[in-house]
Structures are given as C-alpha cells and as structure tokens.
Amino acid sequence: MIGIIGGTHILELKIEDLKELEIETPFGIAEVDLGKIEGFDVAVIRRHGRRKDKPPHKINHAANFTALKSLGVKFAIGMGSVGCLKEDIEIPAIIIPHDYIDFFSGITVFDRELVHITPGFDDYVRKKLIEAAKRNSIFPVIENGIYFQTRGPRLETKAEISMIKNFADCVGMTAGSEATVAKELGIKYAVLCTMDNYAHGIRGVEVDYREIVEKAKKNAEICLKIIKEAIKLIWKENYS
Ligand code: HPA
C-alpha cells in the first residue's frame, strides 16, 4: 500500500472501493481513506481533515504518519501548493524539492526517547516523482530545490520572504514536518509541489490566500495525473 498525503490538490481525487477509517495512534486519531487508485492500493490522508478543520499548525503529522505505518505503508507521496521564491522562475511550475529548512515546527514522534534522525526527502520516491512529472507535466518541471517551511497559518511578510529567498526556492507550510516524521518512522517520503503563486513581494506581488487556493485548484489536475503515474511506477518496482 502506498501513502498519499495532500491538501487542496487532493479534493478532486477519486478513490475506488473507498473505506473511511479513523485510526487511533498514541498521538491521537488519524483520518485515513483506504481504497484504490487505478487499481493500486492506497492510503490517503487529507491533511486539512475531512471537514477541512485543521490549519497547517494544527495538523497532527505524528498521528497521520503513525497511522500510515500501522497500515504497512513503506512509501509515501506528498502533494503541496507552494509559493515561488525566485523572480526568474515562470509559474505555474512543478517542483520536487531535494531538501528543506524547517526551524520552527519542532515536530517529532520522539518525545520520550533520545533519537536524532538525519532528515531529508527520500531520494527513491523523489526520482519516481521526477520521472512521472517529466512524462505528464504540461508545466516546467524543476527537479531540485529547497523547500522552506513556515509555521502558518498566516502567509509571510515581505521582509520574511526577502530573507528566506536567499536560502530556498519555494515556501510552504507542511512538507518539512511530513518529511521529518516520515523519516523518524522509517517511511520513504518525498513531495511534489505546484508553484501556484509568487511569494509575498516576489515580482512585486501582494499575496492573497484565496487567490492561492484558486490557482492550486486549477493546477491540481496535472498534479494528480503525475501522482497516479508515480504510484504505478513505485508499485511495479516494489509490489509486483
Ligand atoms: N506561502 C506559504 N505557503 C504557501 C504559499 C506561500 O506563498 N503558497 C502556497 N502555499
């Protein structure tokens, strides 16, 4: 079974033989949708909740990934909408970041043990996402980049963006935390992001969250097409 975690992009995702589970974990309850995508077994998490009641700083990443692990998930794919930090990148574009900065979340599953993982996105899952994106994307595919995670739910100030643009390529609120807990639990995780907007102040743009959601929804279709192909690639190489 392959884990899929998404936000706005996943709203339109059609799951066959859907079973809506609530899985209890030591960290709390996780909502997981079990089923099939194009015949392949998946466990899907809508990270903002079925009722869309979980803003980024309230998402229970530890419960979500612990639930995936309890289902036997070894590979997980994230989908995310990000702001573009680079003036010279034309958007929309797809980016599969190779690393991240997350100084603020403090996320971990190890609250009572001394465990210090070495964080990062999984290179195998990243390669499959790149392969799938190159085959299916009508937007440019950026194969490397640094994801800067902010805490949310608010967007960033111009001053914050003006600082972080020197160190990262895109900005979002979730993928760093997901990568950290996935690695702590031994789940191979990488993320496919759509660059839907220029971050605050980049190209003189004033950001507005409603606009971001609109654009993310528009770009979701291509993202889902890529994800379906990546599921197929990972499945064929590991489960058949
Ligand atoms: N900032 C933070 N998170 C985001 C953005 C942004 O500009 N766009 C999409 N997610």
pLDDT, residue 97, reads 98
Q: Within its chain, how far is the Cα of 13 from the centroid?
A: 15
Instruction: Report mean pLDDT in 10-residue bins for the chain, 240 residues.
Output: 90 89 98 95 95 94 98 97 97 97 96 96 98 96 98 96 98 98 98 97 93 89 94 94
pLDDT, residue 14, reads 87
CB of residue 96 inside a 6 A radius of ligand 1: no
- Ranges of each domain in the chain: 2-238
Q: Which of 66, 70, 64 is nearest to 44 (CA)?
A: 64
pLDDT, residue 10, reads 81
Identify the residue whose tokens are 């309850």. Answer: 29
In angstroms, the Cα distances linking 78 to 89, 185, 240 are: 22, 16, 23
CB of residue 199 inside a 6 A radius of ligand 1: yes
CB of residue 81 inside a 6 A radius of ligand 1: yes
In angstroms, the Cα distances linking 239 to 80, 228, 234 are: 26, 16, 8
pLDDT, residue 130, reads 98
CB of residue 156 inside a 6 A radius of ligand 1: yes
| E strand segments, the chain | 2-6, 16-25, 28-37, 40-46, 75-84, 93-95, 99-101, 141-142, 146-149, 170-172, 188-198
Atom of ligand 1 nearest to the CA of 198: 7
- Domain 2-238 CATH superfamily: Nucleoside phosphorylase domain (3.40.50.1580)
